[in-house]
Amino acid sequence: MVALVVVLSLVVVAALGGGGWFLWQRTTGGATAQAGDPSTLEVLGKGTLNETDVRGVDATALFYASFKKLVTQPVLHTTQESYTEKDEYDNNEPGYRWESGFDYKTKEWQMLWGSADADSPLMLCLKGGSHDYSPSLKRWYDPRPTDSFCQQKRAWNYVSDGLAAGGLTEAQADTWVKDLQSEQKGFVNPGEARLAEVKGKQYLRLVVDYKPVKQSDGIYYGGQMLMWSFKKTGLDPESHPYSYNGGLGTGYHVVYYIDPRSMLPAYTEVEQTPPLDRNGKPREPDFYKVRVEYHWPGKMPGLKPSGKPTWPKLTWPRDGA
């Protein structure tokens, strides 16, 4: 089992990157708010939509309405798949998959994690400890009561898309959204919403580019802007927990599929984009892409270290954008 722990540790390091637990201080001042026009979202309640309906929807208002709905959910339940090699993603080769549930009231965290290869071992995070399952031996091993991989503060990277969170109050969500709109101008850039049908149901497909922004110190900042805004809520990112995927100045190209009735995301694909140097030119990036399928209403998955586990698997088709 030592080999399993080593492999898992290496993958965790690759996935976490240089996410900003402590990069909290802003280096520049405010900007004009960019809230969009929420009144354009009223058409989404009509029932079956057509292209004309969606064409009139303000993409910025749609993004922030969905973002707020997501971050106020008390429980997040997702199935995810990540890639750290572009060739593997392009060739649809097995990545790493996990099913995770996080209750923001009790701080209970469950996660079943491993390679998409059915012959690979699985790890179950439960109550801060880890349980390992061997497919070849068809058995669970004795739990390790404490495991750094399964610490609560690590959960942020596995319970949402690595950009958002859950468990905020309405007031805290309003604060986070307001700061993103007014203090982080140029970072969040929603494109045009389009109508899409997946598994016989209508969704709004929304592409959002999170672009690094040059600050007063001459440095381009990316994911840190999410942390700066999150800090304004007054929540502690280690105990909530919250952080962002990637390193200093990382941007993101994200595809959201949003349920027009609940305004919750059903599925997202998040790909990191390169940090920028002082001249605004892309640096050599480390590839990282994650697919996230949300399960609503959010409830804990009830994972247990007994019997033969079901390998986490996404049912949502890849967008490929």
User: How many Cα neighbours within 13 Å face the side chain of 34?
Assistant: 17
SS3 state of residue 269: strand
Is the predicted pLDDT of residue 1 greater than 60, yes or no?
Answer: no
pTM confidence score: 0.88
pLDDT at 14 over 90: no
- Judge whether 157 and 151 are in contact, CB under 8 Å: no
Beta-sheet pairing, 194-198 with 188-190:
unpaired
Round to whole Å and give the CA distance between 166 and 243: 12
pLDDT at residue 73 tops 90 = yes
pLDDT at 54 over 60: yes
- Tokens standing for 287? 């590839």
- The beta-carbon contacts of 3-10 under 8 Å, at least 24 apart in sequence, are 4/121, 4/123, 4/132, 8/113, 8/123, 8/149, 9/149
- pLDDT tier for residue 245 given thresholds of 50, 70 and 90: very high
- What number is the average pLDDT over the span 23-38? 52
Give the pair of three-digit tokens for residue 117.
Answer: 């290869």
Mean of the pLDDT values across residues 68-91? 95
User: Buried b / exposed e across 293-321, counting CB within 10 Å, b at 16+?
Assistant: bbbeebebbebebeeebebbebebeebee
* pLDDT > 80? residue 264: yes
Tokens standing for 68?
């707020």
Q: Using CB atoms within 10 A of its CB, is residue 203 exposed (0-12), middle (13-18) or buried (19+)? A: buried
pLDDT digits (tens, 9 = 90+) for 184-205: 999 999 999 999 999 999 999 9
> pLDDT-based confidence at 284, cuts 50/70/90?
confident
pLDDT at site 219? 95
Contact call for residues 166 and 74 (beta carbons, < 8 A):
yes
- Output DSSP code: residue 282: B
- The total number of residues written for the chain in this structure: 321
Residue % of the chain over a pLDDT of 70: 89
- What pLDDT does 8 receive? 40
- Distance between CA 86 and CA 196 in Å, rounded? 26
Give per-residue pLDDT as tens, 198-238.
Answer: 999 999 999 999 999 999 999 999 999 999 999 999 999 99
Handedness of CA 78, 60, 281, 215 (dihedral sign): negative
Shortest CA distance to 160 belongs to which of 21, 230, 251, 265? 265
Q: Which pLDDT belongs to residue 216? A: 93
Say whether pLDDT at 127 is over 70. yes
What average pLDDT is seen over the chain? 88
What pLDDT shows up at residue 95?
87
For residue 131, the number of C-alpha atoms closer than 13 Å in the C-beta half-sphere is 18
CA-wise closest residue to 304 among 110, 38, 147: 110
pLDDT at residue 321, as a whole number:
66
Q: pLDDT of 96-108, one tens digit each?
A: 999 999 999 999 9
Is residue 125 predicted with pLDDT exceeding 90? Answer: yes
Instruction: Tell me the C-alpha distance between 254 and 222, whole Å.
Output: 14
Mean pLDDT of 244-249: 87
Residue 34: per-residue pLDDT:
62
Answer whether 5's CB lies under 8 Å from 193's CB. no
What's the per-residue H, E or C state across 20-40?
Answer: CCCCCCCCCCCCCCCCCCHHH
* pLDDT band at 18; cut points 50, 70, 90: very low
